[in-house]
């Protein structure tokens, strides 16, 4: 199923797409404008569903002089969310800061004055006291911007906006962590933070070979909830000195846990081709389907058919599955290295960028390719044919 096939829930100005556990927002006016050949600019109507933050500005926001780092960053993000397609001109001001993230007008005006003093924004010639307008820095051409969905500022339907929840927590580093996670997202099939930066895993190796049948190795994989991260620049911001001068990682774990509880991030289980930090993603996983046997989506159907193929290949040895304690089961070619089950960190509200669409197209190819391959293995096993290995075809659209 491609993006065009997803159900739309109309709200406010835009359309909400519910897609694989995340919420993606596509501006309804943008869809109409494409059909009509018009260009719309936010502020004079409605713009696109995301805004772009330059990495140079993001660095300066974390170091510029301020009396309140949380308010300074939030005010800039609110103003940036009100820009048009060039991500530069905005009429949003202290009123928008008050309305969307709960910064009272006097504090919002002070934060905006600090942004002006730091050279991060400036008044335009058209600005007046009653109708402010600001110009923001041009996006650099030699660096990838951070793409953020407008709805983390404005909210989704009746939900409290994510950035308002962050302000209520009162921790500027919680906001820094959230924006850094958006910056870390890669546009591969997982569309999450790379597992060589942060991941969830089981304390022990997650994969166990249950048996072999013909050209198939039968694997049981166990999901774990232990979080592991590497000392990347965004991680180091949250480490504090611990006993023996070793870094204390607890502030990072606490902030990640809080972002999850407030609905800003989530962990999606994926099978990777090995337990290496740079392993390739194979398929997303539905962990609940083997307890309910109710395959509500394509990911659940994929794991269910992999389970049935494993059952058919084991024949009378199905007791091996019962004793494995595994979360899911799947057959792979006998030459395949041990796979691994990992949790991929993903944001809950995604910006509908071209990179994201490419990522989801690749995801669909993986899901459909593995499902077709497992269905063929199941059919062969039921016909007592065990000499044809798993065949994968990712060319289908």
**Token digits for 346?**
């993903």
Query: From edge to edge, which strands make up the β-sheet containing 328-333?
Result: 207-213, 216-221, 328-333
pTM here is: 0.87
- Least Cα distance to 344 among 189, 166, 163, 233 occurs for 189
Q: Which residue has the higher pLDDT, 249 or 317?
A: 249
Average pLDDT over residues 89-96: 95
Write the CB contacts of 206 (distance below 8 Å, at least 6 apart in sequence): 221, 222, 223, 224, 275, 340, 341, 342
pLDDT digits (tens, 9 = 90+) for 142-201: 889 999 999 999 998 889 999 999 999 999 999 999 999 999 999 889 999 999 999 999
SS3 for the chain is CCHHHCCEEEECCEEEEEECCEEEEEEHHHHHHHHHCCCCCCCCCCCCCEEEECHHHHHHHCCCCCCCHHHHHHHHHHHHHCECCCCCEECCCHHHHHHHHCCCHHHHHHHHHHHHHCCCCEECCCCCCCCCCEECCCCCCCCCCEEEECHHHHCCCCCCCHHHHHHHHCCHHHHHHHHHHHHHCCCCCCCCCCCCCEEEECCCCCEEEEEEECCEEEEEECCCCEEEECCCHHHHCCCEECHHHCEECHHHHHHHHHHHHCCCEEEEEEEECCCCCCCCEEEECCCCHHHHCCCCCHHHHHHHHHHHHHHHHHHHHCHHHHCCCCCEEEEEECCCCCCEEEEEEEECEEECCHHHHHHHHHHHHHHHHHHHHHHHHHHHHHCCCCCCCCCCCCCCC
Average pLDDT over residues 233-261: 95
Q: Which residue has the higher pLDDT, 288 or 312?
A: 312
C-alpha span between 369 and 391 (Å, rounded): 9
pLDDT value of residue 293: 63
pLDDT-derived band at 85 (thresholds 50, 70, 90) equals: confident
pLDDT digits (tens, 9 = 90+) for 38-80: 443 333 223 348 999 999 999 999 999 999 999 999 999 999 9
pLDDT value of residue 280: 96
**Mean model confidence pLDDT for the chain:** 87
pLDDT-derived band at 126 (thresholds 50, 70, 90) equals: confident
pLDDT-derived band at 98 (thresholds 50, 70, 90) equals: very high
373 pLDDT more than 50: yes
Looking up tokens 């293995």 gives 377
């Amino acid at each position: 199923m491609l993006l065009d096939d997803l159900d739309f829930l109309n709200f406010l100005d835009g359309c909400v797409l519910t897609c694989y556990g995340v919420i993606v927002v596509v501006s309804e006016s943008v869809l109409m404008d494409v059909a009509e050949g018009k260009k719309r600019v936010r502020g004079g109507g409605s713009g696109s569903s995301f805004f772009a933050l330059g990495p140079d500005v993001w660095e300066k926001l974390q170091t510029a002089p301020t009396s309140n780092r949380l308010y300074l960053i939030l005010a800039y993000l609110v103003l940036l969310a009100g820009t048009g397609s060039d991500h530069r001109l905005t009429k949003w001001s202290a009123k928008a800061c008050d309305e969307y993230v709960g910064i009272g007008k006097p504090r919002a005006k002070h934060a905006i004055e600090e942004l002006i003093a730091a050279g991060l924004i400036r008044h335009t010639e058209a600005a007046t006291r009653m109708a402010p307008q600001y110009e923001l820095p041009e996006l650099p051409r030699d660096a990838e911007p951070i793409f953020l969905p407008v709805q983390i500022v404005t909210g989704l339907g009746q939900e409290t906006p994510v950035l308002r929840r962050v302000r209520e927590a009162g921790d500027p580093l919680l906001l820094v962590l959230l924006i850094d996670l958006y910056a870390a997202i890669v546009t591969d099939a997982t569309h999450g933070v790379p597992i060589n930066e942060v991941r969830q895993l089981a304390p022990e190796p997650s994969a166990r070979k249950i048996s072999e049948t013909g050209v198939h190795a039968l694997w049981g994989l166990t999901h774990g909830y232990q979080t592991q991260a590497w000392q990347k620049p965004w991680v180091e911001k949250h480490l504090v000195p611990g006993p023996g001068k070793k870094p204390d990682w607890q502030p990072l774990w606490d902030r990640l846990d809080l972002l999850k509880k407030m609905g800003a991030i989530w962990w999606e289980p994926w099978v990777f081709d090995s337990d290496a930090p740079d392993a390739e993603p194979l398929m997303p996983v539905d962990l609940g389907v083997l307890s309910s046997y109710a395959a509500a989506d394509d990911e659940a159907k994929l794991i269910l058919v992999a389970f049935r193929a494993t059952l058919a290949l084991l024949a009378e040895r199905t007791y091996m599955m019962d004793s494995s304690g595994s979360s899911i089961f799947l057959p792979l070619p006998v030459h395949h290295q041990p796979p691994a089950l990992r949790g991929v960190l993903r944001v809950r509200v995604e910006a509908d960028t071209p990179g994201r669409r490419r990522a989801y197209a690749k995801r669909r190819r993986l899901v459909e390719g593995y499902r077709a391959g497992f269905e063929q293995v199941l059919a062969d096993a039921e016909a007592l044919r065990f000499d044809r290995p798993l065949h994968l075809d990712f060319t289908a659209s």
